[in-house]
């Protein structure tokens, strides 16, 4: 089973590859819109990864505090 973090990293990599392919060719209005959409999807995926990292950090600090309180 793929972890959510790994799934997001794979999605970011896929979107970056698509973005590179679109940028390599002369743009039409439709391709410009696709580039914007891919950029938004990358930003959302990065935000999700960042939120997961914050949660992991919070959980680790909470666990560390609990072990010192015991």
- 3 or 68, higher pLDDT: 3
Class of residue 20 by CB neighbours under 10 A (exposed 0-12, middle 13-18, buried 19+): exposed
Q: Which tops the pLDDT comparison, 25 or 70? A: 25
- Would you state the pLDDT for residue 6? 81
Tell me the per-residue pLDDT of 7-28, one tens digit each, with 9 for 90 and over: 878 888 887 888 788 778 766 7
Q: Are 42 and 12 in contact (CB under 8 A)?
A: yes
Q: What is the pTM of this model?
A: 0.49
């Amino acid at each position: 089973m793929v972890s959510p973090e790994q799934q997001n990293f794979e999605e970011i990599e896929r979107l970056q590859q698509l973005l590179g392919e679109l940028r390599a060719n002369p743009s039409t209005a439709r391709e410009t819109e696709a580039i914007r959409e891919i950029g938004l999807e990358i930003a959302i995926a990065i935000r999700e990864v960042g939120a997961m990292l914050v949660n992991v950090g919070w959980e680790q600090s909470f666990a560390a505090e609990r072990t010192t309180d015991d």
